[in-house]
């Protein structure tokens, strides 16, 4: 079956076609970074309007590249996310489902990220530990099978991606800040500043990045008194990145060992961080899986593959689902499996 995936939860419009026999057939992505950069963050109204503008052209493009007129099923992001943006994707999916008389699957955004490595040739087998790290989420999840998830730990304040973005802003870098900070850190000394590794030695698997962010802010203020040079900024960036990576890697390995899991999946926007990938692979005595860089951030391919795996949960088109909040551990295994 050919499954069309639609992603519109925030500031990226993603469309993809996934075949249950051939894998990913075609995909397209439109980023709204330029629209939101002047505001220093995502403006929900602007995001929704741009999804309206871009969805149909991207769907036509993907179907044309795939050489088909219509899919056999449609999956769309139903949450969590910006409600207005979710409504655009949900409305489009259900409208096309009615027009094409095909079933529609409401997909959990974070389950899409979690399953994104399934798009690769070497896909992870269940069970595994998932480290989901993005601008809005930082979670450690024991994945027993599809839909059987146990939340082991989450962030108590800022998500990892949010901490990267806020630190980048302190250093005068542009939006989105995470990739810019990682690029600056490449020329810095990660041992130049002694920054905290919050909650790393706590017995639980929760995260906290607010204290690390505050420590960086104090170092930036000290540097501003003398006028920070480019090398000093790079050293702060590298030291922050190393502290964040130490925290994420340390917690992930402890969580995997506690559950006797030999596989770890990294997913979400921060999962594209090269140092995080490298250091987890070096320090974990098991296998590490992750999607290719283009599928770490929001995209239609992850929604398409998640919908394909949940075809038994597909319903008739007509009911739009959009949830700003939707805990991942409230999901269940697909029906009739």
CA-based max dimension of the chain: 66
- Class of residue 286 by CB neighbours under 10 A (exposed 0-12, middle 13-18, buried 19+): middle
Backbone torsions φ then ψ of 103, nearest 5 degrees: -70, 155
Quick check: helix, strand or coil at residue 210? Answer: helix
Residue 259's closest CA among 206, 208, 328, 205? 205
Mean pLDDT computed over 270-283: 96
Residue 95's closest CA among 79, 109, 74, 81? 74
Alpha carbons within 13 A on the beta-carbon side of 82: 20
Q: What is the percentage of the chain residues whose pLDDT exceeds 70?
A: 99
Query: Predicted confidence band at 281 (pLDDT cuts at 50, 70, 90)?
Result: very high
pTM over 0.85: yes
Burial of 123-156, coded b for 16+ CB within 10 Å and e otherwise, reads ebeebbbbbbbbbbbbbbbbbeebbebeebbbbe
Phi-psi bin for 243: left (phi > 0), alpha (psi -120 to 50), beta?
alpha
Structure tokens at 302: 């992850």
Query: Predicted confidence band at 317 (pLDDT cuts at 50, 70, 90)?
Result: confident
**What is the residue whose two structure tokens read 């949900």?**
90
The model's pLDDT over 22-73, given as tens digits with 9 standing for 90+, comes to: 999 999 999 998 999 888 889 999 999 999 999 999 999 999 999 999 999 9
Residue 115's closest CA among 87, 143, 151? 143
Q: Evaluate whether 56 touches 95 at the Cβ level (below 8 Å).
A: no
The model's pLDDT over 85-117, given as tens digits with 9 standing for 90+, comes to: 999 999 999 999 999 999 999 999 999 999 999
The model's pLDDT over 209-265, given as tens digits with 9 standing for 90+, comes to: 999 999 999 999 998 888 778 999 999 999 999 999 999 999 999 999 999 999 999
Residue 29's closest CA among 290, 307, 297? 297
Please report which residue ranges of 108-229 form alpha helices under DSSP H: 109-115, 160-170, 177-185, 210-226
- Please tell me the distance from the alpha carbon of residue 289 to that of residue 95, in angstroms, as a whole number: 36
Q: Which residues pair with 333 in a beta bridge?
A: none
- Please tell me the distance from the alpha carbon of residue 175 to that of residue 21, in angstroms, as a whole number: 39
| Model pLDDT, residue 136 | 82
Neighbour count for residue 72 (Cβ, 10 Å) = 17
Neighbour count for residue 39 (Cβ, 10 Å) = 10
């Amino acid at each position: 079956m050919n499954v069309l995936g639609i992603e519109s939860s925030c500031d990226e419009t993603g469309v993809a076609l996934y075949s249950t026999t051939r894998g990913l057939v075609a995909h397209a992505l439109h980023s709204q970074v330029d629209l939101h950069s002047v505001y220093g963050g995502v403006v929900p109204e602007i995001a929704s309007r741009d999804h309206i503008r871009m969805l149909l052209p991207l769907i036509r493009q993907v179907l044309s590249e795939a050489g088909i007129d219509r899919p056999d099923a449609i999956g769309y992001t139903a949450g969590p996310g910006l409600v207005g943006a979710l409504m655009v994707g949900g409305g489009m999916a259900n409208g096309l489902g009615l027009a094409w008389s095909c079933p529609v699957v409401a997909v959990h955004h974070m389950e899409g990220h979690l399953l994104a490595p399934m798009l690769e040739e070497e896909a992870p087998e269940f069970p595994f530990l998932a480290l989901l790290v993005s601008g809005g989420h930082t979670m450690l999840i024991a994945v027993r099978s599809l839909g059987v998830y146990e939340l082991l730990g989450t962030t108590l304040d800022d998500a990892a991606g949010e901490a990267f973005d806020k630190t980048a802003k302190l250093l005068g870098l542009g939006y989105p800040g995470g990739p810019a900070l990682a690029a600056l850190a490449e020329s810095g000394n990660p041992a130049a500043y002694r920054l905290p590794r919050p909650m790393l030695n706590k017995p639980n698997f929760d995260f906290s990045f607010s204290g690390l962010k505050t420590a960086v802010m104090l170092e930036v203020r000290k540097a501003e008194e003398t006028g920070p040079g480019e090398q000093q900024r790079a050293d702060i960036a590298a030291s922050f990145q190393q502290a964040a990576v130490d925290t994420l890697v340390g917690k992930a390995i402890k969580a995997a060992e506690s559950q006797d899991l030999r596989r770890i999946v990294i997913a979400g926007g921060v999962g594209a961080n090269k140092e995080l990938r490298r250091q987890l692979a070096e320090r974990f005595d098991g296998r590490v899986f992750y999607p290719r860089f283009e599928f770490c951030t929001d995209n239609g391919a992850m929604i398409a593959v998640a919908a394909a795996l949940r075809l038994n949960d597909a319903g008739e088109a007509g009911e739009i689902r959009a949830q700003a909040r939707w805990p991942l551990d409230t999901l269940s295994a697909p029906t009739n499996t």
